[in-house]
């Protein structure tokens, strides 16, 4: 991995009964780490060591706010082990067990410390080999590894078991996100026929905006489609703008805001795509805000570091 670069593996899932949600992100070169940002500023040419800034971010969402949990402890290279099928970050592990991606989670939540422990298993319907460059110079890539998946959650702390639809992708890059992107919007939803539809709208500093609209079927097939027009969503509590795409005449709405941070939001939304209403996990990211000194000062409260 390039000095100053990054890789992350992202999983989200929604329970079949609609009561629970989950997001897990394994970071090498944690792109939202204030410690990594500081290390890049201090290193010649920004060449900081990504292996010294790794984290497993786990977020749980439920019907009530009291059901929510968040953990994201950054760790240095001495707490990281990796090979072709396994990435261990501190006490937690993500590993391939045959064709199933397994997360053995043992983390401590913030800001109120509590144990977050158990296992999550991601069963891909098919593996997608294609990746998409997000910038003209190909410094940043998105790979939708398993857009259609089933997820099993079995946690002991808190005591929680459920199954649902899931999604797995990866992003890699050779330099910081904020260097090339002011902002982006992303969402993924499941259609009635089992396909997963993904929307990616990326604002780029040195090129025209990029808009991707792709439907993935459970057998691994990929079909791009013309994205409908942009439609505004309500601002977050931190007054961040967010938007999505929805068929004309079908206004989207926010069903639940999972995360409301100064530079980032994750929400459950409803929109209209390819002739039907779609419930989707949606993310808005402002890298202008992330890079601001006031935001960097706040981040350690949600992202502690254990070197």
Domain assignment present for 1: no
- pTM score above 0.95: yes
Which structural domain, as residue segments, surrounds residue 45? 6-306
What is the number of structural domains in the chain? 1
pLDDT band per the 50, 70, 90 thresholds, residue 65: confident
Query: Tell me: the pLDDT tens digits for 33-52?
Result: 999 999 999 998 889 999 99
**Among 12, 101, 19, residue whose Cα is nearest residue 57:** 12
Query: Tell me: the pLDDT tens digits for 135-176?
Result: 999 999 999 999 999 999 999 999 999 999 999 999 999 999
Domain assignment present for 282: yes
The Cα 154–Cα 151 span in angstroms is 10
Domain assignment present for 123: yes
Residue-wise over 33-66: b if at least 16 C-beta within 10 A, else e?
bbbbbebbeeeeebebbbbbbbbbbbbbbbeeee
Domain assignment present for 78: yes
The answer to whether 302 touches 290, Cβ cutoff 8 Å, is no
CB neighbours of residue 90 within 10 Å: 19
Domain assignment present for 115: yes
Domain assignment present for 64: yes
pLDDT band per the 50, 70, 90 thresholds, residue 67: confident
* CATH label of the domain that carries residue 213: 2.40.370.10
The Cα 94–Cα 88 span in angstroms is 6
Query: How far are the Cα atoms of 114, 165, 178 from residue 15, in angstroms, in the given order?
Result: 23, 7, 33
């Amino acid at each position: 991995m390039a000095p100053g670069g990054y890789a992350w593996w992202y999983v989200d899932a929604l329970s079949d009964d609609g009561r629970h949600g989950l997001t897990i992100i394994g970071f090498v070169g944690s792109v939202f780490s204030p410690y990594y940002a500081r290390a890049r500023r201090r290193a010649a040419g920004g060449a900081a060591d990504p292996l010294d800034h790794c984290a497993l971010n786990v977020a749980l969402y439920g019907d009530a706010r009291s059901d929510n949990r968040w953990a994201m402890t950054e760790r240095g290279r001495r707490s990281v082990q990796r090979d072709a099928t396994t990435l261990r970050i501190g006490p937690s592990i993500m590993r391939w067990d045959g064709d199933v991606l397994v997360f053995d989670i043992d983390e401590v939540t913030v800001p109120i410390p509590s144990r977050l422990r158990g296992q999550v298993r991601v069963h891909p319907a098919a593996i997608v080999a294609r990746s998409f460059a997000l910038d003209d110079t190909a410094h940043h890539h998105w790979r939708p590894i398993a857009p259609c998946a089933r997820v099993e959650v079995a946690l002991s702390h808190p005591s929680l078991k459920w199954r649902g639809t899931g999604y797995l992708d990866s992003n890699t890059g050779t330099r910081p996100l904020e260097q090339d992107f002011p902002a982006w919007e992303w969402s993924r939803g499941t259609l009635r026929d089992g396909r997963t539809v993904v929307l990616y709208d990326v604002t780029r500093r040195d090129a025209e905006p990029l808009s991707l609209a792709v439907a993935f079927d459970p057998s691994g097939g990929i079909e791009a489609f013309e994205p409908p027009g942009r439609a505004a969503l309500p601002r977050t509590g931190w007054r961040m703008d967010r938007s999505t795409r929805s068929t004309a005449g079908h206004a989207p709405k926010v069903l639940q805001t999972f995360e409301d941070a100064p530079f980032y939001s994750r929400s459950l939304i409803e929109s209209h795509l390819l002739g039907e209403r779609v419930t989707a996990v949606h993310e808005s990211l402002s890298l202008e805000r992330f890079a601001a000194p006031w935001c960097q000062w706040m981040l350690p409260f949600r992202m502690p570091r254990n070197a």
